[in-house]
Structure 1
């Protein structure tokens, strides 16, 4: 099943400046593993201790995976996975 992954600017050097990539997988964790095979080093930017890094937000079709099943969140063909770095400020 094809999943479109939207890559934030900060991670684009790892994906050869691609804004969108198509990956195959049925869970968010599978997508991240496949991304890391094709773009080495990206997983360490997204995952810490088996969970999404606390400064990275991952959405499936506008739904934050932290309020679903985390990295085990199921995907369907045509879903869009968006990666966004957390923004802090004051």
Structure 2
């Protein structure tokens, strides 16, 4: 099981939960985790990935302490590490 932490801005898409326990196999990738999230919480899944399955530009996902785009992106093995999802914040 992988613990996925969500900010309040995304928790509203899954009933207000700030933590999700996602059951995935030991060899799961980030894509596998996001597939399971989308299956359990479709609205949240649509906020995280586009129609082609790519991570949306404004979504940052950390696996342990590392940002997924600096690793292997969606192909990154999660190895049971905690995941934190953070939307980018822009302002002016």
TM-score normalised according to structure 1 size: 0.88
CA distance in structure 2 between the aligned counterparts of 1:67 and 1:55, rounded to whole angstroms: 15
Q: Following TM superposition, where does structure 1 have runs of at least 4 consecutive aligned residues deviating by more than 4 angstroms?
A: none
Matched, 1:22 2:21: yes
| Aligned length in residues | 88
Q: What is the aligned partner in structure 1 of residue 84 from structure 2? A: 82
Give the CA RMSD over aligned residues.
1.2
CA distance in structure 1 between the aligned counterparts of 2:41 and 2:35, rounded to whole angstroms: 10
Structure 2: gaps spanning 5 or more residues:
none
CA distance in structure 2 between the aligned counterparts of 1:84 and 1:62, rounded to whole angstroms: 13
Say which SS state the counterpart of residue 62 (structure 2) adopts. strand
Given candidates 25, 46, 49, the residue that maps to 1:47 is 49
Q: Does the Cα contact within 8 Å between 2:14 and 2:43 map onto a contact in 1?
A: no
Structure 1: gaps spanning 5 or more residues:
none
TM-score normalised according to structure 2 size: 0.87
CA distance in structure 2 between the aligned counterparts of 1:47 and 1:13, rounded to whole angstroms: 17
Q: Does the Cα contact within 8 Å between 1:52 and 1:58 map onto a contact in 2?
A: no
CA distance in structure 2 between the aligned counterparts of 1:69 and 1:24, rounded to whole angstroms: 21
1:19-58 deviation per Cα after TM superposition (whole angstroms, max 9, x unaligned): 1011022111111111111112212111123321100100
